[in-house]
A and B are shown apart, each in its own frame.
Chain A
Amino acid sequence: MNPLRRTFLKGSGAAGTLAVALAAGLLKPGQVLAAEWNKAAFEAHGIIDALKGIGGASAAESKDIAIKAPDIAENGAVVPVEVTSKIPGTEQIAIVVEKNDRPLIAVFNLLNGAEGFVSTRIKMSQTSSVKILVKAGGKMYTASKEVKVTIGGCGG
Chain B
Amino acid sequence: MADPMKMRVTLAGDIANVKVLMNHDMETGLRKDAKTGQVIPAHFIQNVTATLNGKAVMEAQWGTAISKNPFLEFKIKGAKAGDKVTVDWLDNKGDKNHIEDTIK
Give A residues with C-beta under 8 Å from B. 2, 5, 9, 34-38, 42, 77-80, 82, 97, 100-102, 104-115, 117-124
Contact B65 A100 (CB under 8 A): yes
Q: Which residues of B sit under 8 angstroms from A120, Cβ to Cβ? A: 66-67, 70-73
Contact residues in B for A105 (Cβ distance below 8 Å): 62-63, 65-66
Range of interface residues on chain B?
A: 35 or more
Closest to B60 in A: A108
In the assembled complex, how far is the CB of residue A155 from the closest CB belonging to chain B, in whole angstroms?
18
A-B contact pairs, 25 of them (CB 8 A): A34-B90, A35-B49, A77-B67, A77-B68, A79-B67, A102-B64, A102-B65, A106-B61, A106-B63, A107-B60, A108-B58, A109-B58, A109-B59, A113-B52, A113-B78, A113-B79, A114-B77, A115-B15, A120-B70, A120-B72, A121-B67, A121-B71, A122-B67, A123-B67, A124-B65
Is B97 located at the chain interface by the 8 A CB criterion? no
On whether the beta carbons of B77 and A115 are closer than 8 Å, the reply is: yes
Q: Contact between B46 and A123 (Cβ–Cβ < 8 Å)?
A: no
